[in-house]
Amino acid sequence: MIQLLDKSFEILITKKEIKARIKQLASQLNDDYSTKKPLFIGVLNGSFIFAAALFKKCNFEAEITFIKVKSYENTSSTGKVSEIFGINENIEGRDIILVEDIVDTGLTINQIIKTLTKQNPKSLKIATLLFKPKALKVPTNPDYVGFEIEPKFVIGYGLDYDGLGRNLGDIWVLVD
């Protein structure tokens, strides 16, 4: 158990399991993108560790950039995605791999998809480390999923509780 601010967390997924799973996801990407030159778009802040780990294991030509959105406060979704900023690249006609730390309600990723689709990318796929299918509020079907988890609050490996916990190597779940 660990304590972060007022909350306790226990281990859900170990760093070893994460590492092994990212290797598998990268090997899928290596098959799917061997003849393409995609642009990875990581969603800040949460995805920066996953995006880096995944990107490093990809052996095709690829670029990476990041966008920033905010939708979460404390331990529950606000349901509102405030501004998306940071897409300077021209994504028209490009293969895009959107990288998220977690798809929870799906609101964030769908808002981003809506914005990016307006710019006519050639393809747009979603890679997410974690997926809470039972928490979805809008239908979402991520293409590359690290782990499906129960709709509980988690931290670690980039995911935070009020800014803390991102540097934990394992993924921890709230104990209530």
Active site residues: 104
Return d(Cα 86, Cα 70) in angstroms, integer: 13
Q: List, in sequence order, the alpha helices (H) in the chain.
A: 15-32, 48-56, 107-117
Q: How many helices (H) and strands (E) does the chain have?
A: 3, 11
Residue 54 interacting entry, from Mg ion, ligand IMP, none, C-beta within 5 to 8 Å by type: none
For ligand IMP, the closer CB: 116 or 155 = 155
Rule CB under 5 A: is residue 106 a binding residue for Mg ion? no
Rule CB under 6 A: is residue 71 a binding residue for ligand IMP? yes
Q: How far is the CB of 38 from ligand IMP (least distance, A)?
A: 20
Segment near ligand IMP (CB under 6 A), from 4-12, 20-28, 60-68, 154-162? 154-162
Is residue 135 helix, strand or coil?
helix
End-to-end CA distance of the chain: 12
- CA-based nearest residue to 105, from 79, 136, 67: 136
Rule CB under 5 A: is residue 46 a binding residue for Mg ion? yes
Rule CB under 6 A: is residue 142 a binding residue for ligand IMP? no
Residues at the site binding ligand IMP, with contacts judged by CB under 6 A = 43, 46, 71-72, 77, 100-109, 153-155, 159
